Amino acid sequence: MLAEFLASDEIPLAYRPCPRVREHRALVRWRHYIQRRLTSVKNKLRHILAAYNADVPHLFTAEGRAHLAAVKLSAADRFVSDQLMVELEQHQERLGAANRRLREFAAAAPLAEREARAVLDSVPNVGPVTTDVILAELGDWRRFRSQAEVASYAGLAPGFRAELLCDKAGKAKQLGITKEGSRLLRWVMIEFAWRMVGTSRKWGRHYHRLEARVGAKKAIVAIARRLLGMIFALLREGKQYCLALEAA
């Protein structure tokens, strides 16, 4: 049966990332893991201090650490907080090393990747983290034929379910997004969408119109999907983002 499908060209090709993309993904995902561990440790420290009504916004500065040392904690909480501070410093060192390695990786990029990075650098609110996640998780963006395919690959496209009715023809019901593909890519696009909504009049207007119709969560996902399509179009055409369009 598989041979018949192959002979009739009914088996689609599977994408296999090149060695550079696989290496890029490993570095990007490792940095994301370290960042999540950092956030977890910080939350645990804040939780301990909150129990003593002693949490402060600047806890992770030099002044905040002095404040932590001065708080009268129980012996058990002091032991845990000391261990968490050690873990925090270790993760900060790992994060710095990961960022340095990614900068070295970007400096050795081939021409096509350097051009893609230049395109992404022209987009407002796109920093090194967003750039690395998009390039690593999309891989070779030239394999996609349309913006819809990119959105589907990222799991930002809505799903559909066919419903069979006895007295009439079947109809399709739209569901939530599929959430297939890279969770990291979806996360970075949602964060990017929030930044664009907050700083761009054009994207802010789009968001508020959608929010009035479908609510905040669905609206921001729709904005993220449109932004991913815009980024794909810029990468495919090799064009930089035009700030003049913001006033349109």
Q: Three-class SS string for the chain?
A: CHHHHHHCCCCCCCCCCCHHHHHHHHHHHHHHHHHHHHHHHHHHHHHHHHCCCCCCCCCCCHHHHHHHHHCCCCHHHHHHHHHHHHHHHHHHHHHHHHHHHHHHHHHCCCHHHHHHHHHHHCCCCCCHHHHHHHHHHHCCHHHCCCHHHHHHHCCCCEEEEEECCCCCCCEEEEEEECCCCCHHHHHHHHHHHHHHHHHCHHHHHHHHHHHHHHCHHHHHHHHHHHHHHHHHHHHHHCCCCCHHHHHC
Task: Give pLDDT tens digits for 35-64.
Answer: 999 999 999 999 999 999 999 999 999 999
* Each residue's pLDDT tens digit, 121-164: 999 999 999 999 999 999 999 999 899 999 999 998 876 554 44
Is the pLDDT score of 167 beyond 80? no
pTM reported for the whole predicted model: 0.84
